[in-house]
Structure formats: C-alpha cells, structure tokens
Structure 1
Amino acid sequence: MLHAYRSAGYGPGKDVVFVQHGMLRNGDEYRDFWIPAADRHGLLIVAPTFSNDGFKGAENYNDGMVRDVKGQIAPADTWIYRVPALVAAALVEAGVMAPGRARIFGHSAGGQFLHRMVSLVGFGPFAAVAAANSGWYSLPTLDTPFPAGLAGTGLGEPGLKRLLESPLHVMAGSKDSEATADNLPSQPEAVAQGPGRLHRARNYHAVGKAMAGILGCAFNWRFTEVPGVAHDGRAMSVAAAGIWFDDRLPDVAALGTGPATVNA
C-alpha cells in the first residue's frame, strides 16, 4: 500500500520524499508528519506501507524478509528492501517523478529497514538516505550473521566498502536513550550494541568508522544527534526535513518536542 501527499507546488523535477514507517505500520501518519515540509518546499511525499497482516513481525519488515521461515538466507530478489526502488522506478516511468529526485527517510523500525537496505542493495535511486532512531543495527562486519551483522548475505568486501563509502545519514534523538524504552529490541545481540537507541546509533557509527580504517576505504556516513528529542517520529521527520531542505537542524522550538506518541 502507498500513502502519498502531493503539495500544490509539486511538479516533476522537484524532490520526492519516501518515508518508511515504524513497527506500527502507520505509513499514513508518517506521510502526515512530512506535509508541512511538503507545502513549504513543493514536495511529493510517498510512504510505502507494509501491513502487519502481510508482513508480520520484525523478520518480515525490519529485516526485509532476508531470511526464510527456516532462518536461511532467501533469494535476494525476494527481499522487500527492493520495494522502494521499484516504486521510484514506477513513478519515473509514469512521468510523476524525474530521475534522481528521490530521498528516503525512515524512523525506528523504518530506520532499521533503511540501513539494512543500504547495506544489502545500496542507495539505488535515492539521492539521500536517513535512518533515524533505529532500535538496533546490522553492524558492518562480515564475521557476524545477519541481522546482527552482514555475514551470510552474499555481501563481500567490495559491498562492505560500498556501504562505508556511501553517504548514509544516521540520526538519533538525544533523549532516545532509555534502556527500558517501549519496543526497544532486547535480544542479547541488540543489548550488546548499547543500552538505548542513542547509544546503539553512536556504536553503529563508530564501528563503521573503525571498519573503514581496517579496509582502507573512505568513510562517508553522517551522524546527527537531534537535541531534546526522544522516540518521536514527527520530531525526527521535522529534523530531517530541516537538514535536507533548509540546510540546518531546526531549533528545539521548531521540533515541537513533547510526549512521544509514535513509539515505532
């Protein structure tokens, strides 16, 4: 399912923002978080939505259906990490979007989806990828099985270098740090990455930087801590929009932080 919003100022040749929802599968809400930015900047917002009925559980969304029901790596052409690129291609073919104008943002489970998408299939048609407040990460290592690492997926050293050299943007709210937060992954591999989402994001970035040093490749990831924000998909959407379209992180008042009503 696609939830979309076309601003009055949008036309082919302007930017399109894809948005990946969290575990609540609320693509309509995540689309709505981006409407103010769309109206200001003349954007089209597209939120591919994976229902829990059809893609039940983390293994069938966050983990991209990379593993089958027996836990074995499934054929790459069945991974749902390819879906956003297919939607983008369809929009280009239909004349709705110009090539090279798509960006993609994901929050919580959507952040997990996106950093794993970039790890395994690359940026594809997206000029920018921002993964925010992910619960945990597939570390950029080939000696730890997926989803804790990338071993067994068919990714080799060239693919790992491509990942580290990509401009992946990792974002985390400075207050998304509670070790007992709702819906925080708690399996041992996740806990080993840090007590809360902020710590795990810092760790992911640090491991990536260290791995780039080991492989002797460039490290082009960006890491942004958003001040005053906890696990809030709306506030993180505002932050990403500010960085992308105003070239700055909005101030705390503009983020409008309050009780986090979107937990995933």
Structure 2
Amino acid sequence: MKTNLIISLFITFFLCSCEWKSDVDDPVLNKLGTGHGIVTYTDYEPLKAKPINLHFYIPEGDIKTMPIVFILPGTGRNANDYLAAWMKNFRSKEVIAIALEFPQEYYSTSEYIEGNMFKKNEALPEEQWSFSVIEAIFSYVKAETGNQVNQYSLFGHSAGAQFVHRFVTFKQNTHLNKAVAANSGWYTVPDVQVEYPYGLKNSGYTDNTTLSHLFGSSLIVALGDQDIDPNDNSLRHDEQSDAQGLYRFARGEYYYSEGERISKANNMVFNWKKVIVKGVAHDFEAMMVQTINYLF
C-alpha cells in the first residue's frame, strides 16, 4: 500500500512537472499591477470598437518612478513573444514594459504600419489614426499604476519599426522621449519630392515644422548588418521601396543617410542615431537585447 502511494505521488509529480510552463509564457494578471499579464484596452473613444491587447510586465519596485516602454511587434502581431523576450532578458530592469498587440481582425497591415492616416486616399482626422492611441494608453497606464513619469519610449521591430518611425514623423506634441526603429522593411523617407507613403509628398505634412520635429526627435535607427536577404517573403518589392535598397539593411542605411542629408540642406538639428548590430539578421530578440539600453 505504501509502495503504491509512493508510486502514485511520483507519477503525479512527474506529470505536473511535464505540464509546467514558465511564467514568461503564462500571463497571470488581467489588470495592470506588479507581475505580468494581458489587458484589453478599449478606453480610447475614437477606436473603441477596435481593441488593443496590452501584454505587460511590471517588476517589483517603485512603480511611480519607473520608465515606461511600449513595444511594437512585427507583422505577426506576436506581442506575447516580444514580452517574453523582454522578461527573459530584462527582468532586473525597473521598467514598465508593455507590448502592444494591434489584432489583425481590427487593424489591417496598412492600418498598423502606416497608422491609419488615410482611407481610400482620403485623409482621416488625427484622432482616428492608430498612432493616436499611444498617448491615450500612456495616460491609462499612469492612471492605473500611479506612475508619475512625464515621458515614454518606443521600441519597434520590422512592421513595428514602420509604426515607430512614422509615429515619430507625423505625431507632434507627444510625450515621447526616445524611439528605436529596428529592421524596418521600408520607410517613409522625409523627402517632400517623393510620393507618400514612401516620402512626404501629398501626405499633408511637407512643412518645415514637420521636418524640424522629425529631425529633432531622438530616433534610433537600428539595423542588423546581416538583414540582407532580398528574397525574404515578407519584404515588399516595388519600384518605390526598391529605390531605397533591395533588402532591409540597405534600406535602413538609405533612410538614415537621406534624413541626415535633408536635415543639413535645411539647416535643421539632426538628433537621430544609427546603430548597426553586428552579426544579426531579422531577429527581434537579438535587436532588442543590443539596442534597448539606448532608451534608458
């Protein structure tokens, strides 16, 4: 009898051990608080019918003073993987990290990476832009946690980097501190002679205020020097994007150099930084690990 009990306990322990998952993969909270979990955000009235999932990690410590970073994932919208990568590598950082999932059923590719600024070539009011929800989420996080910081930072990779660099381009009067745009597939270059969305022509934002705001922003253009596959099936190829280069690394180099050139031609302050990550291709975790310290 005693032997059978021991065997039973052993089997139970073995099965439980096999089914156990790391808490990195298993969200445990459904409201913002110390720990990690997911909150579905619908408080921004203009986009109330298009919820956004906030995958968050808040470490122990003085929440009131912690920096806030919003993480924008790639085209797969896999915010859970991005948060897991953050928790794997940066648990010791006293930072509120929130990976933003714009669900594909509510946000098309263009509504995500281009911010929903236009619909059928008609300009939409700024409050309807996908970009505009960032400020609302920042206010929500502060209200829910008691956080008192005045700014936030952004990290985006691939499609998320497209969101980030266009957010910096078109959203003014925000609480943004610094932004990392890592391995973007293609860019809206700050050239008023190139048609939107590849440039600023006909975007409605070709004035010096837009350019000086963009060039004066703390934008970190992060590029994996091995992100050089021109045949990546998720990489856009058309005349306009290929004019920027045939693969992501070349396009990022082009975007940065054009920004530097145009800012100098207009005698504008240029606050961008280019970071080349050696030996890394299209790997969001490696890019995060190598560039996140530029934000803090």
Secondary structure of the 1:236 match is helix
Per-residue CA deviations over 1:174-225 (Å, capped at 9, x if unaligned) read 1001111230111221111001101000000000011011111111110001
Q: Find out whether 1:224 has 2:275 as its counterpart.
A: yes
Q: CA RMSD in A?
A: 1.6
Which residue of the other structure, out of 261, 285, 290, is the alignment partner of 1:239?
290
Task: Name the CA distance, whole Å, in 2 between partners of 1:36 and 1:15.
Answer: 18
CA spacing shift, 1:7–1:241, aligned 2, 3 Å: same
Task: Name the CA distance, whole Å, in 2 between partners of 1:209 and 1:203.
Answer: 10
Q: Find out whether 1:162 has 2:213 as its counterpart.
A: yes
Q: Please list, as runs of the form range in 1=range in 2, the aligned pairs for 1:76-87 lying within 5 A after superposition.
A: 76-87=126-137
Q: Find out whether 1:153 has 2:209 as its counterpart.
A: no
Per-residue CA deviations over 1:151-190 (Å, capped at 9, x if unaligned) read 2232222111111121111101010011112301112211
CA spacing shift, 1:16–1:36, aligned 2, 3 Å: farther
Task: Name the CA distance, whole Å, in 1 between partners of 2:269 and 2:92.
Answer: 35
Which residue of structure 2 aligns with residue 140 of structure 1?
190
Task: Name the CA distance, whole Å, in 1 between partners of 2:153 and 2:111.
Answer: 23
Aligned residues of 2:131 and 2:167 also touching (Cα < 8 A): yes
Which residue of the other structure, out of 181, 184, 188, is the alignment partner of 2:239?
188
Which residue of structure 2 aligns with residue 203 of structure 1?
254
Which residue of structure 2 aligns with residue 74 of structure 1?
124
Aligned residues of 1:164 and 1:220 also touching (Cα < 8 A): yes
Secondary structure of the 1:168 match is strand
User: Which structure's CA Rg is the greater one?
Assistant: 2
Task: Name the CA distance, whole Å, in 2 between partners of 1:190 and 1:127.
Answer: 29
Shift, 1:95, TM fit: 4.0
Which residue of structure 2 aligns with residue 252 of structure 1?
none
Q: Please list, as runs of the form range in 1=range in 2, the aligned pairs for 1:18-33 lying within 5 A after superposition.
A: 18-33=70-85
Task: Name the CA distance, whole Å, in 1 between partners of 2:74 and 2:293.
Answer: 21
Structure 1: any 5+ residue segments left out of the alignment?
A: 246-264
Aligned residues of 2:64 and 2:149 also touching (Cα < 8 A): no
Shift, 1:37, TM fit: 4.4
Task: Name the CA distance, whole Å, in 2 between partners of 1:104 and 1:10.
Answer: 21
Aligned length in residues:
243
Task: Name the CA distance, whole Å, in 2 between partners of 1:21 and 1:180.
Answer: 21
Secondary structure of the 1:211 match is helix
Structure 2: any 5+ residue segments left out of the alignment?
A: 1-52
Q: Find out whether 1:44 has 2:44 as its counterpart.
A: no
Per-residue CA deviations over 1:74-131 (Å, capped at 9, x if unaligned) read 2222111111121011222334422225211000000000000000003721211110
Amino acid at match of 2:214: L
Secondary structure of the 2:113 match is coil
CA spacing shift, 1:128–1:37, aligned 2, 3 Å: farther
Aligned residues of 1:172 and 1:226 also touching (Cα < 8 A): yes
Amino acid at match of 1:240: T
Amino acid at match of 1:82: S
Which residue of the other structure, out of 97, 104, 126, is the alignment partner of 2:154?
104
Shift, 1:142, TM fit: 1.8
4+ aligned runs moved over 3 Å, structure 1 = 242-245
Task: Name the CA distance, whole Å, in 1 between partners of 2:61 and 2:88.
Answer: 12
Task: Name the CA distance, whole Å, in 1 between partners of 2:70 and 2:193.
Answer: 32
